[in-house]
Amino acid sequence: MTDPAQPRGDDFPALRAIAERFELGGPISGIEPLGQGNVNDTYLVRLGDTARPAAVLQRVNTQVFTRPELVMGNLVTFSDHVARRMREPPRELAGRRWEVPRVFPAREDGRPWVWEGSNFWRALGYVQGAQSLERIGHSGHAREIGFALGMFHRLISDLPVEHLADTLEGFHITPSYLRHFDQVLGQLSSHGDAELDDCLAFVEQRRSLVPVLEQAKASGELRQRPIHGDPKINNVMLDLQADRAVALVDLDTVKPGLVHYDIGDCLRSACNPLGEEADDWRAVHFDVGLCDLLLKGYGSVASSFLTDADYRHIPAAIRLISFELGLRFLTDHLAGDVYFKTRHRGHNLRRARVQFKLTQSIEEQDAAIQAVVAAMR
């Protein structure tokens, strides 16, 4: 059996047959792999004579999302809500383009998915005239990325969290990731690897950091809201001609959570100029200037729904979500690369080192980060 977490050979005739089961609105003229997703398989579908990119076809990883129909249920609830809000858009959108990718129905039954054996497929609208970046292009993009996340949150800030299912239990619950890490580690015999020892020591020194957000949630200081779950830099679509963000994509993880997970995830990815796939992890650092611009962009649309407690927990969230992703990569390395797609053995270990180096850089600049958060209001 092939491991669904690993990239599989692309069988384009088979992909085309699947794409044809969706009502895409024209004849398919091409299919190609799209993006760098670590979990799902993603393809771009072109339509018609002009081979215009029209849809994003995705095979959802059902080992990760074990109830994919609920994922689509959340996506439809989210899209309907935003469509209603966009009838009277927030004034910050005046003169700007803002899009929510449409969900294509299946020809056979109108549902927003297709099962093909044990594979779950869906097709979403492609955001035209925009691109995503693996790493920040220039500082102007930082403000736009922050604006995009703020607008995304703003448009769903009045969507009751009870309307969304928890489609990925434990997602961004850092204490759960630590428990899993401890279990995996407990099953290993000695390894005698200095690099790994370094990483294990890094985790040991930060155990007290792990529960900060969950404690604030449990005490009622922070409340759950609808979130994106994965607003890393390459999920922000930018119109590079106008230098404007126009959409957030990759909506699998829209579900109840803390906006802090999103803020932390967005900052840890956008303010790491070398990117999360950096070859030389030692050179990785957190750019506070970019963080300042990003948070100003976020604050320009989010100030209407953020509370004092929300602001207070932002610095901890930036540190925590970087650390958490490092811990997730490290755990996956120790478990034998079963969750994130990898290109070689050791890939997840290197990714963990990148996130840990970033965490360290965040810690070293704590005073500057606190000042930037204080200035975003």
Near ligand GN1 by CB under 6 A, which window of 2-10, 32-40, 311-319, 342-350?
32-40
Burial of 357 by CB count in 10 Å (0-12 exposed, 13-18 middle, 19+ buried)? buried
Cα separation, 189 vs 80, whole angstroms: 51
| 262 counts as binding Mg ion under rule CB under 5 A | no
Number of residues forming the site for ligand GN1 (CB under 6 A): 11
Cα separation, 270 vs 371, whole angstroms: 19
| 79/348 with CB nearer ligand GN1 | 348
| 77/331 with CB nearer ligand GN1 | 331
Tell which one of 239, 250, 324, 337 touches Mg ion (CB under 5 A): 250
**Can you name the residues that pair with 46 across neighbouring β-strands?**
30, 53
- Cβ density class 321-349: b for 16+ within 10 Å, e for less: bbbbbbbbbbbbbbbebebbbbeeeebbb
| 112 counts as binding ligand GN1 under rule CB under 6 A | no
Q: φ and ψ at 360, to 5 degrees?
A: -60, -40
| 325 counts as binding ligand GN1 under rule CB under 6 A | yes
Contact code string over 64-93 relative to ligand GN1, x by CB under 6 A: x-----------------------------
| 36/307 with CB nearer ligand GN1 | 36
| 37/299 with CB nearer ligand GN1 | 37
Tell which one of 39, 72, 123, 178 touches ligand GN1 (CB under 6 A): 39
| 230/337 with CB nearer ligand GN1 | 230
Among Mg ion, ligand GN1, none, the one that 41 touches (CB under a kind-dependent 5 to 8 A) is none
CB of 196 to ligand GN1, least distance (A): 20
CB of 230 to Mg ion, least distance (A): 4
Q: Within 13 Å and on the Cβ side, how many CA atoms surround 264?
A: 27
| 250 counts as binding ligand GN1 under rule CB under 6 A | yes
Q: Which of 276, 236, 299 is nearest to 359 (CA)?
A: 276
Q: Give, as ranges, the residues between 301 and 330 that touch Mg ion (CB under 5 A).
A: none
Among Mg ion, ligand GN1, none, the one that 38 touches (CB under a kind-dependent 5 to 8 A) is ligand GN1
Cβ neighbours, 10 Å, residue 84: 12
Among ligand GN1, Mg ion, none, the one that 64 touches (CB under a kind-dependent 5 to 8 A) is ligand GN1
Cβ neighbours, 10 Å, residue 60: 22
Near ligand GN1 by CB under 6 A, which window of 4-12, 36-44, 82-90, 296-304?
36-44
| 37/315 with CB nearer Mg ion | 37
| 352 counts as binding ligand GN1 under rule CB under 6 A | no
Q: Give, as ranges, the residues between 207 and 246 that touch Mg ion (CB under 5 A).
A: 230
Contact code string over 262-281 relative to ligand GN1, x by CB under 6 A: ---x----------x-----
CB of 20 to Mg ion, least distance (A): 26
Residues near Mg ion (CB under 5 A):
230, 250
Residues that bind ligand GN1 (CB under 6 A): 37-39, 64, 230, 232, 250, 253, 265, 276, 325
